Chain A
């Protein structure tokens, strides 16, 4: 089942390659739709209340070193898989406009989808790493070929940056595998848990210092993807240069890989090191939140502003994680899902106007609300969702993260992070006013040049908006899905290690 899910896009890729170019986009949309349907049927089959992984498949792969093809999911992975398939589906619709080398584009798109899904289902460290790297390649080409004027610079920067992170990640993975003698993620997680319950602070690597080093390596590896301050500078460039649908996937799914890696691998493997570094991570998160928001406020490029708002919002993910509390980590995870749909929507909104005006200078727009009223509804919807208004998913995420972080050990930093809320509101409302309100300059009054949303754009924006609203009003659906691993496994382990480190009760 899972293998089918992961490799279905590859079938689509082959079909794309074989079929004539004009069919490519249809094949892409159909494949993404099929993958989405399949992931929903997986959802129906998974009982995320139960412990452990489900729909597991395991085959020996490279027996000499004990590497298996081992896949399986739990609620945590499932929630992100659903996000991936959903965002990919709407991005595939948004890709309709791509005119350059259509065939290649859609093949790359489907390869990317396989990579992303693979990361979430892999239960073998080697497999995980392979999918992790598979993802990089199509992304590099998608930005480097179909991007904007400075696409090559952005693509190379993205590639080298993430490769730098991957190297540290790989080093840490090798360290872990050498010590534990297995590649299986569930097994290593269980070992780490056992070490904790035995009161062994040294953990799976048998040494406190080594654990710390491995954790830092992994953290940087994942932090580049999140991206966490100070590893964030690839993001604005990549976003600005990437075509709209790719920006949507980049912000909607790719950034979540880092958070998933932290929750699934780095934190459970090295709970003591994670608790040790909690303060450091909190500080970096708060810098990302406040500093990211300030930098976003100073941007003149619409897309760059949205990119920095992503930096700011993803700071909440690490902030929640660093708190080590149930509420905080649940909130962090909710932020990933909420940001996934909201940021995809925001990038689509930039894309819509870029298609018509061929520039993105905030200062040159004005009064678009009167020319394109329906578009304005979606734009203000996304803006208010992103600045955390109740009724939208962003509110739940921010609130739970704050409460969680405040209940954790680093209260002061949680309080400083509150500032981000005001600055976020400030830059969103400023942009809203400059781009959509006030008088319309004559340039934009031409209705033939600035038509309201097309049907395809509706098809992209409406589902995203619906999910954002649903997640804001009924948060239990998503939270029940993923919280099992966090509540039953991660937080207890972290609590034990807090106890060990403070010498208190075990």
Chain B
């Protein structure tokens, strides 16, 4: 393909949804069908362009398959500093483009049916379009700054869409929590931008890698930059510590959860780390692997004890993202990003499937009230089962098998301890997924009312399910992914990213173990939650403490509330107090003192003889008034004052 046709395709696939957003936002209500089909069309155009791009650039694995368009000058902030924007299309970008536009297209289609009758129907599609634009900006970026812009914009769209039903407090709080938590992560990104940009004089990926390879950045700074980038990725991809927002984000409409909080935006963290992997020091890689493995395990455990169908899926997403980071951390670059792709398909499938279930059950999300839906929802049930076996990694046919196996064998080669953690996570994944499936579709109906009214969704909703189901199976076939997701070479430590050859060359017992893990988990889940569902309660008894801990998600929310949120508000109150009493109080006191001295000098003028005495008195009074302002009698004010004075003294000493 010629680079100007690539440019043309990129521009079309970017502008189509942007036009859709503008039209839909401004005139959505007046368009036929409230504009929903228009947005399906624009995102369809994007999808077509992406597919042409992905298929057209056949030589993805080679340097010839990389298109670097532009860059164009954007921000003339400094002479020896280029702030540019540009487009980078390589195999990774092409895969991401197809994933983003593909899932987005199917989600649009699904929403046409799912959101029917919502009073803000057109607005929903407008923000879906804007999200697609932002995500495409992120993916097409050829530099860190440009990527960061997309990164922040997807945050905005996520905020808008989680809080789509913002008349109610829960979605509002969830949206706010999501935005602020990811923003805390963004601090790391800003730090990395400052470090890398400052040292290199450019944000361009290639230029950064070249400069790092040439040793332009000291090891400490490089370490900080790497950790900063990973911290940002942790926020966006909800890794352990910053994961608290993702389960809450399920307050948003289900198609949003499928698109943003399962398939695309949350994977942006993985994409970022994958993109920047060549400059990650081995220490950073180790941290990434450990955090990823811990997340995979802990989130899997928590998923076991959730009863809300979407929350189970949310924790499962966190856990799978943990796998991807584990893969990146141990150097299994190709497997990690391949898992990103397959996960996007089967997790979007399951979210949309859960949407179909929720739709059928009249917005009931509690699995304890479902059961026996298999006969009522045959298509949803079948596609959901495909999703379950794909995420569990049933061997040789499902896509999840290939990608997860790659991660596990990569982990075994680099860090066997993490391999065992990952394996335990794999058993858990299969187990809780089967639990979800059994509780929802198998067994006896638990709530007759919900069961009686359940009905299969319309075609516009089950067609996306069928397409995703096909992809969840077939995406792992063939070797397309090896050509498109060719691992880059690390510029800081040779061999810290495994080549495709290394990845294939692994210990012989890894695959049998992975297969066993999947099958044992599935079988166990089927037995426990279907065959012996009645006795589950008895079996759970000895694990009461564990269950409480899991049901409460290990008290992360409560901890953060106590340690971060409340103190922040208290600090704000304290600062307000200091500002109004301390800083402003002093000003007012000076003012009052001034008035008093003014009075006194007036008196001096009038009574020259007596004036001196009076003036002294009034002066004293003036200053007394001024100082008495400070004698508030409040211990905390005194303490703040003395600590402040001490700090000031130390500071002055340092400066002079």
- Which A residues have a C-beta under 8 Å from some C-beta of B? 157, 160-161, 230, 232-233, 279-280, 283, 291, 294-295, 297-299, 325-327, 330-331, 367, 369-370, 384, 389-391, 395-396, 399-400, 402-404, 406-407, 414-415, 418-419, 421-423, 425-426, 429-430, 433, 437-439, 475-476, 479-480, 483, 487
Contacts and interface: CB of A to CB of B under 8 A. Distances in A.
Given A396-B75, A400-B77, A479-B76, A294 B572 contact: yes
Contacts of B219: none
B75 A421 contact: no
A406 B587 contact: no
A315 B191 CA distance: 19
Contacts of A298: 569, 572-573, 575-576
Contact of A330 (B77, B149, B195, B197): B77
30 contacts: A233-B579, A233-B584, A291-B575, A295-B576, A298-B569, A326-B77, A326-B78, A326-B81, A369-B166, A399-B190, A402-B190, A402-B193, A404-B77, A406-B194, A406-B195, A406-B198, A418-B191, A419-B187, A421-B186, A421-B187, A422-B183, A422-B184, A422-B187, A426-B180, A429-B180, A437-B163, A437-B166, A437-B172, A479-B77, A487-B79
A160 B187 contact: no
Grouping DSSP codes into helix (H, G, I), strand (E, B) and loop, the A interface class, with mixed when no group exceeds half, is helix
B78 A425 contact: no
Interface in B579-631: 579, 583-584, 587, 591
B376 interface: no
A438 B187 contact: no
B78 A479 contact: no
B385 interface: no
A384 B156 contact: yes
B149 A390 contact: yes
Contacts of B191: 415, 418
Contacts of A483: 76-77
Contacts of A389: 152-153, 156
B163 to A, nearest CB: 7
B523 interface: no
Interface of B: 73-79, 81, 145, 148-150, 152-153, 156, 159, 163, 166-169, 172-173, 176, 179-180, 183-184, 186-187, 190-191, 193-195, 197-198, 568-569, 571-573, 575-576, 579, 583-584, 587, 591, 651, 655
Contacts of B180: 422, 425-426, 429
B75 A429 contact: no
Contact of A433 (B76, B77, B172, B587): B172
Contacts of B587: 157, 161, 233
**Top 3 closest A-B pairs, CB basis?**
A390-B149, A406-B194, A298-B572
B78 A430 contact: no
Contacts of A391: 149, 153
B194 A402 contact: yes
Nearest to B181: A422
A295 B575 contact: yes
A456 to B, nearest CB: 21
A384 B156 CA distance: 9
Nearest to A480: B76
B193 A399 contact: yes
Nearest to B155: A389
A414 B168 CA distance: 38
B72 to A, nearest CB: 10
A396 B83 CA distance: 11
A368 B257 CA distance: 27
Given A390-B152, A391-B153, A476 B183 contact: no
Contacts of A404: 77-78
A253 to B, nearest CB: 24
Pick from B81, B148, B153, B168 the residue with the most CB of A within 10 Å: B81
Given A327-B81, A395-B149, A403 B198 contact: yes
B127 to A, nearest CB: 12
Nearest to A161: B587
Contacts of B183: 421-422, 425
Contact of B148 (A230, A326, A390, A400): A390
Nearest to A427: B572
Contact of A367 (B167, B195, B655): B167
Contacts of B193: 399, 402-403
Contact of B76 (A370, A423, A476): A476
A367 B166 CA distance: 9
Given A291-B575, A389-B156, A438 B75 contact: no
Nearest to A291: B575
Contact of A438 (B168, B198, B584, B651): B168
Contact of B197 (A233, A403, A421, A487): A403
Contact of B167 (A232, A233, A438): A438
B131 to A, nearest CB: 14
Contact of A327 (B78, B145, B584): B78
A324 to B, nearest CB: 12
Nearest to B652: A280
Contacts of B150: 390
Contact of A418 (B76, B190, B198): B190
B187 A325 contact: no
A476 B77 CA distance: 8
B166 A390 contact: no
Pick from B153, B573, B576, B591 the residue with the most CB of A within 10 Å: B576
A430 B569 CA distance: 12
A369 B156 CA distance: 17
B75 A479 contact: yes
B655 A280 contact: yes
A438 B172 contact: yes
B152 A475 contact: no
Nearest to B201: A407
A168 to B, nearest CB: 15
B647 to A, nearest CB: 11
Pick from A279, A400, A403 the residue with the most CB of B within 10 Å: A403
Nearest to A237: B584
Contacts of A396: 75
Contacts of B173: 433
Contacts of A327: 77-78, 81
Contacts of B153: 389-391
B158 to A, nearest CB: 12
Contact of B79 (A294, A326, A406, A438): A326
Pick from B156, B572, B573 the residue with the most CB of A within 10 Å: B572
Contacts of B159: 429
Pick from B74, B76, B163, B655 the residue with the most CB of A within 10 Å: B76
A400 B149 contact: no
A299 B576 contact: yes
